[in-house]
Amino acid sequence: MPFTAVRFTDRFWAPRQRVNRERTIPHIDRQNTVTGRIDAFRRDWNPSPEVTRRDGRWNGTVVMFWDSDVAKWIEAAAYSLATTPDPALDARLDAIIALIAERQAPDGYMNTWFLTVDPEMRWANLRDWHELYDAGHLIEAAVAHYEATGKRSLLDVMCRYADYIGATFGRGPGQKRGYCGHPEIELALVRLARATGEQRYHDLARYFVDERGQQPHYFDQEAIARGQPPAQFWARSYEYNQAHLPVREQTEAVGHSVRAVYLYSAMADFAASEGDQQLRDACATIWRHLTTKRMYVMGGIGTSAKNEGFTSDYDLPNESAYAETCAAIGLVFWAQRMLRLGLDRRYTDILELALYNAVLSGVSHDGESFFYDNPLASAGTHHRSEWFACPCCPPNLARIIASLGDYVYAQNEHEAVVHLYAQGSGQFRFGEQDVTLHQQTDYPWDGRVTVRVETGAPASFALRLRVPAWSGAPELLLNGSPVNAPAEGGYLQIDREWIDGDEVVLALPMPVERLYARPDVTPDLGLVALRRGPLIYCVEQADQSVPVERIVLPASAELASEFRADVLDGLVVVTGTALAPTGAGWADDELYRTAPPELRPCPITAIPYYAWDNRAPGKMRVWLPTTGS
């Protein structure tokens, strides 16, 4: 279902979309402007010396990626226009797109860095220089703008570029057998093929997926052509960019986490559209490996800042966790595509977990500062920033929040599927009959969901409702009476002829739960985390009477939840009584002793992880020490 068929009227996502529209999107546009990203598309752009080559080496490599920052902003702005008309934003898009069209080379090539700074190095380093990655984001922006406005101004520009890329890369005579070190263009070309109906873009995307990791290795060959020994690659292994093996032979989530999930998204696209069983099996195997061995409790992925990605199984430290916001967004993309391979709540549960926690934490409550990395513990020094040297996350956040309706519903000829719960509506069509599903709920604060059917004439279809794995046994009512509905893949199904006013109530239990990590995750041994519904909780110093690092949560401590309207415009907190060691009885010169410190009761308040670092700066922890009694 297109996201334009979905409306939010709740007090959770609707305000966030409004903040995204009114504050985040304008903020990113201002940053793109003052940092020179918009001017880079002008023909007379004259980059300053610090972004040009120096001593034969590239300086300011981040500038090579500028096109993608503007492209993701265009995509976000287009999604916003599609649901909320804004003449000023529409005109702003037209002006920027006109600059891009004017800057495009006569042969169709479009990359501001290589058109201006070093044109002779075009396509010289696909491994590191992101030309095709930039192209992918520009293509996604073009598709979004076309679908939102009906205008072909950017779409035509990017079709020319895609045709140029298709003539340059492939297995034909004189073509380069290359692919991008940062996957993105693959999934973008799939979108372009769907938007235009042109098979050649689908075939080009398939080439890039199939060619990856083949021998002789293209990255080795291009390095030799540049006069650089392949062994000098700083990452030491092509696992970094998921090019260590052909994609059908890959079994583990490795390397740079954003690159990984973008590639896996494209693999799932082809597994679904072409029935490619090998790709389907590879996706399922990698998914299981990632979600059972290399994913944080709040849905973040990627452990290390050094490679912005994965390390080894169960290596999930808390304070040094990288968990890049873009990686969580990419995990949402991949999860949605896995759902197209088969309706299974395992994928939706992870989609929801990442969205409500690891994605949403990336943007501040006011919409104008951002996390690049998302640790699970902080000494009080980790804060959001207004912008970054490599600002990939802010526009990525803007585009996923603006297009949030993409993830709530789905349908085929005979089924209406509710993946996520949020008050609002979704418009469906079965044959010649329009059907609207209205959700009434206070999710994620409350697990009761009422779905009311609006239809002008009776309509036959199966309504499928997800039961999250965390919810236990739900209650299901149809027009006020209990109903036993068959469940498949974690979705309840009610198949009948629906009439106007029919009403289904799904009551999902939403207790406060303790979570424990597998013993192999050594940083979390002896620790406990709190979950309520789809939300992971943390303790932040602003709410505690003792230092957060001293809090011990007994296994027997009773926990309660309550809605507090005065905290960040309203949220549910978890409260209870914990223990904290005191310094009572310790002499001033006593550093160690044989008797343990005294533990005294202390009240604690936990808030949703996504909400931390929006109030007074202070320490934070997701995982807390616990006791056996």
Q: Which residues are catalytic?
A: 308, 392
**Burial (Cβ within 10 Å: 0-12, 13-18, ≥19) of residue 328:** buried
Distance from the first to the final alpha carbon of the chain: 50
Q: Which of 407, 424, 406, 426 is nearest to 416 (CA)?
A: 426
- The tokens for 48 are 């300053």
Q: With the C-alpha atoms ordered 383, 387, 388, 393, is the resulting torsion angle positive or negative?
A: positive
Q: Of all helices (H) and strands (E), which one includes residue 553?
A: strand 553-554
Q: What share of the chain is helix, strand, coil (3-state, %, to 5)?
A: 40, 20, 40
| Radius of gyration of the chain, Cα coordinates, nearest whole angstrom | 25
Pairing of strands 599-608, 620-621: unpaired
Quick one: which H or E segment has residue 415?
strand 415-418
Alpha-carbon distance of 271 to 277, in angstroms, equals 7
Tell me if 207 sits within 8 A of 167, measured CB to CB. no
The number of beta carbons lying within 10 Å of the beta carbon of residue 499 is 12
Q: Which among 295, 294, 370, 284 is positioned nearest to 334, based on CA atoms?
A: 284
Check if the beta carbon of residue 445 is closer than 8 Å to that of residue 508. no
DSSP character string of 269-333: HHHHHH--HHHHHHHHHHHHHHHHHSB-TTS-B--BTTTTB--STT---STT----HHHHHHHHH
